[in-house]
């Protein structure tokens, strides 16, 4: 999960996003996290297996620093659906994500921190102007573990639960 000092900065950016002429769903502050991979539906029996595999993957990596900066517009500026911050210095995270995909399956994603899911853009030019003016550098922090997280989508939004934490080497 995101350290509190960076979470506060992310919430400030989210406030600025919410003021732009678009309709979006902000990720709740307690749910802000870096996404590595989407494993899809996993039955309870596989959670123990996945946890054990994740422990093995993480043993071979030492703690490391990442910087969260640079706004990502996903999939593109012409079709804005997700607003996220990019993870800089992400080579280790990409390596972990690739190993997770190889050993556990699922879909790997470039490491990112989702801020909002966009439902509708009312004035694209003003939104893009506002997005490009955002101070997007949250800062650096040490990653010392990887979490296996369950995401349940409810009408009020996703609810995340940490199922397992794997410390890095």
Given the residues 33, 61, 132, 164, the one annotated as active site? 33
Query: Helices 44-59 and 91-104 sit at what angle, rounded to 10 degrees?
Result: 140
Mean pLDDT along residues 147-165: 87
Q: Is 40 exposed, middle or buried (0-12, 13-18, 19+ CB in 10 A)?
A: exposed
User: Is the pLDDT at 109 greater than 80, yes or no?
Assistant: no
Q: Say if CB 38 and CB 107 are below 8 A apart.
A: yes
Mean pLDDT along residues 6-25: 95
Contacts of 93 (CB under 8 A, 6+ apart): 34, 36, 66, 87, 111, 143
Q: Domains, the chain, ranges and CATH?
A: 4-164 (3.90.1140.10)
Given the residues 61, 112, 132, 164, the one annotated as active site? 112
For the chain, helix (H) and strand (E) counts, in that order, are: 4, 8
Judge whether 112 counts as a catalytic residue: yes
pLDDT of residue 153: 80
Q: Which tens digit of pLDDT belongs to each residue from 114-145? A: 999 999 999 999 999 999 999 888 999 999 99
Judge whether 33 counts as a catalytic residue: yes
Q: Which tens digit of pLDDT belongs to each residue from 38-65? A: 888 888 888 999 999 999 999 999 999 9
Mean pLDDT along residues 143-160: 87
pTM: 0.87
Mean pLDDT along residues 25-32: 92
């Amino acid at each position: 999960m995101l350290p509190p000092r960076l979470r506060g900065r992310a919430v400030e950016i989210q406030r600025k996003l919410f003021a732009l002429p678009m309709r979006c769903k902000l990720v709740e502050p307690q749910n802000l996290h870096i996404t590595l991979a989407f494993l899809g539906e996993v039955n309870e029996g596989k959670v123990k297996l996945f946890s054990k595999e994740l422990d093995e993957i993480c043993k071979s990596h030492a703690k490391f620093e990442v910087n969260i900066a640079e706004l990502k517009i996903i999939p593109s500026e012409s079709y804005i659906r997700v607003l996220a911050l990019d993870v800089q210095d992400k080579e280790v995270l990409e390596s972990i994500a690739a190993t997770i995909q190889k050993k556990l399956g699922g879909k790997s994603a470039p490491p990112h921190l989702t801020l909002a899911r966009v439902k509708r853009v009312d004035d694209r030019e003003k939104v893009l102007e506002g997005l490009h003016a955002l101070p997007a550098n949250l800062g650096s922090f040490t990653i010392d573990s990887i979490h296996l997280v369950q995401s349940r989508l409810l009408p009020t939004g996703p609810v995340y639960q940490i199922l397992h934490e794997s410390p890095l080497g």
